[in-house]
Structure formats: structure tokens, C-alpha cells
């Protein structure tokens, strides 16, 4: 049985197009009040499963990012504060910034965990294929819960669930981070007791910070910032958080990233900044980084590449990266216009947020993927031009043409 959990109202409103004030200014602005986590309405069906379950597994996606790690660790911390037997799994090596978020070391690899679990919770992901070896735990669970803020719609068939298993999902694509949803859950688990939320709060604040690019991402909701401010309430705490979340790569590695050639497309296709990372360059990036620090992960290097991608998005409006890894080709897309990134990524078999999305094509040729990416952008430009010609160019109209 599948239950789609919805709150009485949307967890957060549609993402506005404006930008927020600089984070440091917002933290000290007395007129910007902190928002309590209980303001996030949580579906009763989600709480019912978590309260009734005896042993709970919380899973994040692979490769990991700050939001999936912080949301998984934060939810487990909240459940453990209630006395629950709860375990977090992200089945991949954590990059340095994510290790900083999981400061209590709650996140484990799938091979180090023993089942069964009567409830399995996926956070920041709604696909069985994106949780690595942790997927085996889905088969024996009475309840599977999905808590996500992307645009994927989970169902029992794609999760491979049996008739006796219940799937309960809460997907809120207008929410900036899964950590926002988890914050509401942590607060609502035991009304009148803020212990579960306080146990999770530092991890959830870090997750919100990373998934909004330090609240610099276009369209970030002010209410997410207000939730964040409820935990990180002064500049001293902000400085400590940022220092932990922004490890630097060795200069030789960063120099390679800075030297990557960027192709700025013509206005005929809407204009965009695109760069490619060959397999040889990818290996060179990893080797130069690990020669200085063997603990550096692929995620650390990938994160630095995405930092450049975000900077290019801010300058050009749209940016994309084609990264030829050993197992396939990864495409990452950024856009200021809401919906463009996810629509192009969907054309490649991926997905994500409206303004930040990705696809991973297994055993693919990078040049062919690059051609498909260019074609996807061209098709989006033609669709937007057609809407403009007939006077229907608007955010809702554009959104309705998505996958």
C-alpha cells in the first residue's frame, strides 16, 4: 500500500525569484526573526510510522552531499533522543565537509549494518537505485518512508516492494533542503519536548547551509534562512560552521580547476557556460589532491568543481559541467530560472531541483553526452521562444512543459 503524505498546507511556499541579503547581515539583522521548526507542518502519516517503529534505518543517497548526510544523521539523532533504536547509512565515502556535518559519527556504510529494520526511511532521495548497497534493507521492512524535496515521485513498483509493505512519502519540491522537512519532524515527534530537535539542530543547520550554497542560491526562501537563524544565531557560530564546511583543496588541484576552459554558448541557444572534465583530467585532479592529503575523496574534488559551476551560473545565468568519471559520465546543471536545470537533466535521464540538477550516464561516451546536453538546451530554448511568440512565457507555463 502506498500513502502519499501531505501537510495541511505546503511546507514552504513556491520559491521566489529574488535573492536574500548576505548571510552575515541577515544573522545580525534584528528585524529578521528566527522561525521555530514547529512552523513546518508535518504529515501525520510520517509521524505515525516513526513513533510506532521499533528499529529504524535512515538512508541518504550516493554520492553524498551535505543535505543527505545532515538530514540522515539529524533524523537519527532526533530518534535516538527519544530512545529509539535508529541507524543512519550513506553507502559511500563522505567528503570532508560532510564528515564535519556528521560530527557525532552517526553515519555508517551499508556493509557495517545488520538488519532487519521494521521501518526504512530515505531522506533527500526518492530512488532505490541511488542508495547503493543499502537498497537490500528495503526488502524486509514493513514500512518504507520517503522524505524528499526533489521532483521524483516514489512508488512501490520502482522500489520493488511487496503487497505487505507500506510506502509513505512526503515529497515537497518547493522546499530548499530535506533538512527543513527533517527539522519539522524532529520538533513534532514528541510535542512539548524539544530534546529531539536540539539533538538534530546543528546537523540540520549545516545541511540547510550547504544545500542553499550559504543562502546565496537564487530563489532560496527567507523562511529557510529564519529556521537556520534559530540555530546559528550569531556570527561566532556562523564562523565556526563555515570553517568546518569549507575545506580547501591543495593549490595544484585548485589550479587545474581554475584553468578548465569554459565555453560560453551563443544567445541563439539561450546562452550558457559549459566546461568539460576529461577522464584523464579527473584522475589528475584526484592524484594531485591525494598526494597532499590521502583522505580527500572524490566528493571533495567534485564539490570544488561544482563551486566553479555555481560561480559560472551567477555570471551567465546557466551553467553545465560534463565530468567523465571512471564508471560513467556525470552532468551537473545550474540555472537561475527555476525549472530549466531539472528539465534539461530529465532529458538526460536524471533530475533534481529546478535550479540545480544532474544526471549520471553509465558506460557513456563523454562527447556523445555533451552533444545530448547541447541538444537538450537547444530544445529548451526553442520551447521558451515558442511560448514567447504566443505570449505565454511565464513561470507556470514553463514549468508545465517539464518532463
Lowest mean pLDDT segment, chosen from 101-110, 315-324, 336-345: 336-345
| Sheet of 2-4, strands arranged across | 2-4, 166-171, 143-148, 119-123, 55-59, 85-89, 107-108
Output 96 or 329, whichever has higher pLDDT.
329
Query: Of 170, 155, 159, 152, which is closest to residue 128 (Cα–Cα)?
Result: 159
Please, are residues 6 and 215 in contact by the beta-carbon 8 Å criterion?
no
Q: What is the mean pLDDT of residues 23-41?
A: 94
Lowest mean pLDDT segment, chosen from 10-19, 84-93, 189-198, 283-292: 10-19
Lowest mean pLDDT segment, chosen from 47-51, 323-327, 365-369, 396-400: 396-400
Structural domains of the chain ordered from first start = 2-244 (3.90.1640.10), 251-400 (3.10.310.30)
- What pLDDT, on a 0 to 100 scale, did the predictor assign at position 199? 96
3-state SS, residue 45:
helix
Locate 286 and state its grid cell: 584526484
pLDDT at 50 over 90: yes
- What pLDDT, on a 0 to 100 scale, did the predictor assign at position 16? 43
- What pLDDT, on a 0 to 100 scale, did the predictor assign at position 152? 83
CA distances (Å), origin 232, targets 34, 225, 227, 237, 238:
10, 10, 9, 6, 6
**pLDDT above 90 coverage of the chain, percent:** 72
- What pLDDT, on a 0 to 100 scale, did the predictor assign at position 361? 94
- What pLDDT, on a 0 to 100 scale, did the predictor assign at position 403? 29
- What pLDDT, on a 0 to 100 scale, did the predictor assign at position 201? 96
Asked whether the CA dihedral 64, 70, 76, 77 is positive or negative, the reply is positive
Residue 182: pLDDT band (50, 70, 90) is: very high
pLDDT at 186 over 80: yes
| Sheet of 328-335, strands arranged across | 263-264, 273-277, 318-324, 328-335, 356-362, 351-352
Give the C-alpha separation, 87 to 100, whole Å. Answer: 18
pLDDT at 395 over 60: no
- What pLDDT, on a 0 to 100 scale, did the predictor assign at position 295? 87
- What pLDDT, on a 0 to 100 scale, did the predictor assign at position 269? 53
pLDDT at 228 over 70: yes
Q: What is the mean pLDDT of residues 353-371?
A: 91
Residue 384: pLDDT band (50, 70, 90) is: low
- What pLDDT, on a 0 to 100 scale, did the predictor assign at position 339? 87
Output 104 or 326, whichever has higher pLDDT.
104
Spatial neighbors of 308 by CB under 8 A, at least 6 apart, are: 257, 258, 260, 275
Residue 396: pLDDT band (50, 70, 90) is: very low
pLDDT at 221 over 80: yes
pLDDT at 8 over 70: no
Provide φ and ψ at 147, rounded to 5°: -125, 110
pLDDT for 250-283, tens place per residue?
999 999 999 999 998 765 555 689 999 999 999 9
pLDDT averaged over the chain?
A: 88
- What pLDDT, on a 0 to 100 scale, did the predictor assign at position 200? 97
Residue 398: pLDDT band (50, 70, 90) is: very low
Spatial neighbors of 284 by CB under 8 A, at least 6 apart, are: 256
In the block, which residue shows the cell 537556520?
A: 228
8-state DSSP, 328: E
CA distances (Å), origin 362, targets 64, 158, 283, 344, 400:
18, 19, 18, 18, 29
Q: What is the mean pLDDT of residues 223-251?
A: 93
Spatial neighbors of 31 by CB under 8 A, at least 6 apart, are: none
Residue 402: pLDDT band (50, 70, 90) is: very low
Give the C-alpha separation, 147 to 67, whole Å. Answer: 12
Amino acid at each position: 500500500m502506498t500513502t502519499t503524505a501531505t501537510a495541511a498546507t505546503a511546507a514552504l511556499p513556491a520559491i521566489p525569484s529574488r535573492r536574500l541579503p548576505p548571510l552575515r547581515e541577515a544573522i545580525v539583522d534584528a528585524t529578521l526573526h528566527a522561525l521555530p521548526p514547529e512552523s513546518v507542518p508535518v504529515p501525520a502519516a510520517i509521524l505515525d510510522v516513526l513513533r510506532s517503529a521499533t528499529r529504524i534505518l535512515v538512508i541518504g543517497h550516493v554520492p553524498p552531499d551535505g543535505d543527505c548526510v545532515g538530514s540522515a544523521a539529524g533524523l537519527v539523532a532526533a530518534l535516538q533522543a527519544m530512545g529509539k533504536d535508529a541507524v543512519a547509512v550513506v553507502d559511500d565515502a563522505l567528503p570532508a565537509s560532510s564528515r564535519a556535518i556528521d560530527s557525532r559519527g552517526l553515519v555508517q556504510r551499508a556493509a557495517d549494518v545488520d538488519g532487519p529494520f521494521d521501518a526504512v526511511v530515505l531522506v533527500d532521495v526518492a530512488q532505490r537505485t541511488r542508495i547503493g548497497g543499502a537498497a537490500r534493507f528495503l526488502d524486509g521492512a514493513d514500512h518504507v518512508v520517503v522524505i524528499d524535496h526533489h521532483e521524483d515521485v516514489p512508488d512501490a513498483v520502482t522500489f520493488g516492494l511487496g503487497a505487505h509493505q507500506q510506502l509513505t512519502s512526503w515529497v515537497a519540491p518547493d522546499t530548499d533542503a530535506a533538512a527543513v522537512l527533517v527539522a519539522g519532524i524532529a520538533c513534532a515527534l514528541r510535542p512539548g519536548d524539544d530534546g529531539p530537535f536540539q539533538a538534530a539542530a546543528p546537523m540540520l543547520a549545516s545541511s540547510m547551509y550547504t544545500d542553499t550554497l550559504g543562502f546565496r542560491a537564487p530563489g532560496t526562501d527567507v523562511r529557510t534562512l529564519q529556521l537556520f537563524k534559530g540555530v546559528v544565531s550569531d556570527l561566532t557560530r556562523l564562523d565556526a560552521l563555515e570553517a568546518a564546511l569549507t575545506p580547501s583543496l591543495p593549490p595544484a588541484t585548485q589550479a587545474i580547476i581554475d584553468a578548465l576552459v569554459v565555453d560560453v554558448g551563443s544567445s541563439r541557444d539561450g546562452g550558457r557556460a559549459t566546461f568539460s572534465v576529461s577522464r584523464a583530467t579527473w584522475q589528475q585532479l584526484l592524484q594531485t589532491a591525494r598526494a597532499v592529503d590521502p583522505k580527500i575523496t572524490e566528493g571533495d574534488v567534485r564539490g570544488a568543481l561544482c563551486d566553479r559551476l555555481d560561480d559560472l551560473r551567477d555570471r551567465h545565468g546557466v551553467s553545465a559541467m560534463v565530468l567523465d568519471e571512471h564508471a560513467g559520465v556525470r552532468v551537473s546543471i545550474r540555472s537561475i530560472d527555476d525549472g530549466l536545470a531539472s528539465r534539461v537533466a530529465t532529458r538526460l535521464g536524471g533530475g533534481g531541483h529546478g535550479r540545480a540538477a544532474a544526471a549520471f550516464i553509465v558506460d557513456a561516451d563523454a562527447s556523445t553526452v555533451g552533444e545530448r546536453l547541447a541538444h537538450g538546451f537547444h530544445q529548451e530554448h526553442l520551447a521558451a521562444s515558442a511560448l514567447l511568440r504566443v505570449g505565454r512565457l511565464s513561470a507556470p507555463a514553463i514549468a508545465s512543459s517539464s518532463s
